[in-house]
Structure 1
Amino acid sequence: MRNKIGKYDNKINALELKDRMLCLNTLILAEQGSGKTNLACKIRNFAIDSNVPTFYMDFSNSFEENIELRYKDSYFNYIQFSESEEFDKQLAELIKEKKHIYMAVSPEYFSNKKDERSKLSKTIANTDLLQNYYYFFHDIENLNGFYTKFEDFLLYMLGLMNMQKYGFTFLAQPHSIFENQNIKLLFSFLYLGRCSNLNYFNTSILKTLDKNRFYYQARTDSPTLLFNKIESNLVTVDEYIPDE
């Protein structure tokens, strides 16, 4: 199983993915060129090896020919979101067969009207997907839109918080919007369940990290009546080289 993905800065043991990652929220927040796609490939491979189907949403609405070759393995099934019966049938068939799904989608499909959920938001909240699939969200642009255009998506994310699937974050070279501490606080609660330590908010440190280096945080899984401790470390993720 491809569970060893890198190393810690100050630990001898390897950075490993474990089964609990498959049922918890994981955030990879980084700018282009920082290695987030490489890390996503590592996590996707672990899900595949664990027989968990993946649902990868590419919000840059990439055409199939423009998607990186390392995604196009034997598990790659491309579909482009549209508000049509044909799309509904294609997606339903893929879900029925528990296929790995790569869905290209434009954020324009999200609702910009208050108290109105879009078909896109309802689609990604499909019960069969939520219960059986490991989700990836990729390239959500114009993050200021969380307050307007992506209102129903934000409510969807808050719904994830109510599920209390708190887990992991990988942070590096964050988008400038995340210098807003209120936004950082929101994501800290969404993915970790409470505030993490101050390095989470130190954008100046995160921007200096080299490619494939991340500030990594994980909620411990010790049985407790209180919030579990958050462990933090700098990690280096190995470069993923697909099999020829």
Structure 2
Amino acid sequence: MRETIGKYLDTIDALKLEERMLCHNTLILGEVGSGKTNLACRIRNYVIDMNVPTLYMDFNNSHEEDVELRYKDEHFNYIRFEESDAFDEAFKKLVAEKKHIYMAVDPNFFARKRDEKSKLSQIISQQELLDNYYYFFHDIENLNGFYTQFEDFLLYMLSFANLQKYGFTFLAQPHETFENPHLKLLFSFLFLGKCSNANYYNTALLKTLKKNKFLYQYRTAYPTLLFNEIVSSIVKIDEYVLEE
């Protein structure tokens, strides 16, 4: 089990992933070179070890040869999204077999109008996926107008009738993207379950963190009348190297 992913910098404790993270949203913020992909890879390894299939959506639309080697393990199944019968058949087969999926996606496939639901959104909001898969959305910065282009799927995802069995991991840039108050509200809700404070994410602090260091925040597990207490710590993530 690969649950130990780093250490706390304010205590001597190791940073370990817990099973309950499979049922909560996870947000990773960082600039290029900050180590966010390394952290996502470590989370993916843990999810795989927990026998939960993963759907990793790469909005850089990367070619297979450009995907980082640490993702190319025995669980790596690359596919590029397109609106075709061939894609539908190949994707359906992967899902039926509960394979781990690395899907390259061109964000232009999302609907441009709010009253339309794109085929891409229809594909990734299939109930079978929502019930069984752990989602990764990589490089949301590439989605120009993310909160409008992606609106059809987000509204479905946030419906109380469709709360996911497993979590969502978001990787995004904190600078220009997160100066947008609409995005701060959106991600505050997805990550913490509330959206009362548009300035919750302190991008000034995030900008100062060195590679593989993150502000780690989580809700405590014990129940309260309102939202559980939020705990914050600075952590350092171990560099993951693909085993030969």
TM-score normalised according to structure 2 size:
0.90
Task: Give % identity.
Answer: 68
Aligned to 1:89: 89
Partner SS state of residue 6, structure 1: strand
Q: Residues 19-98 of structure 1 correspond to what in structure 2 (within 5 A)?
A: 19-98=19-98
Q: From the superposition, tell whether residues 50 and 154 of structure 1 become closer, same or farther in structure 2 (CA, over 3 Å).
A: closer
The more displaced of 217-226 and 104-113 is 217-226
Aligned to 1:205: 205
Instruction: Tell me the distance in 2 between the aligned counterparts of 1:171 and 1:61.
Output: 15
**1:48 CA displacement:** 1.1
Partner SS state of residue 141, structure 1: helix
Aligned to 2:112: 112
Instruction: Tell me the distance in 2 between the aligned counterparts of 1:140 and 1:167.
Output: 17
Aligned to 2:132: 132
Partner SS state of residue 55, structure 2: strand
Instruction: Tell me the distance in 2 between the aligned counterparts of 1:87 and 1:237.
Output: 36
Instruction: Tell me the distance in 1 between the aligned counterparts of 2:160 and 2:60.
Output: 22
Contact 2:140–2:171 under 8 Å retained in 1? no
Give the AA of the match of 1:116. Answer: E
Give the AA of the match of 1:145. Answer: G
Aligned to 1:214: 214
Partner SS state of residue 235, structure 2: strand
Q: From the superposition, tell whether residues 154 and 178 of structure 1 become closer, same or farther in structure 2 (CA, over 3 Å).
A: same
Q: Residues 185-200 of structure 1 correspond to what in structure 2 (within 5 A)?
A: 185-194=185-194, 200=200
CA deviation profile, 1:166-225 (whole Å, cap 9, x unmatched): 989899961312123342132112210125999843222210110001111101111333
- Provide the aligned C-alpha RMSD in A: 2.7
**1:164 CA displacement:** 8.0
Partner SS state of residue 56, structure 2: strand
Matched positions, count: 244
Instruction: Tell me the distance in 1 between the aligned counterparts of 2:77 and 2:166.
Output: 28
**1:12 CA displacement:** 2.1
Gaps of 5+ in 1: none
Instruction: Tell me the distance in 1 between the aligned counterparts of 2:48 and 2:120.
Output: 25
Gaps of 5+ in 2: none
Instruction: Tell me the distance in 2 between the aligned counterparts of 1:66 and 1:118.
Output: 27
**1:147 CA displacement:** 4.9
Instruction: Tell me the distance in 1 between the aligned counterparts of 2:161 and 2:215.
Output: 22
CA deviation profile, 1:44-74 (whole Å, cap 9, x unmatched): 1101111111110001111101101110011
Contact 1:167–1:191 under 8 Å retained in 2? no
CA deviation profile, 1:1-53 (whole Å, cap 9, x unmatched): 10010111212211110111112111112221110110011001101111111
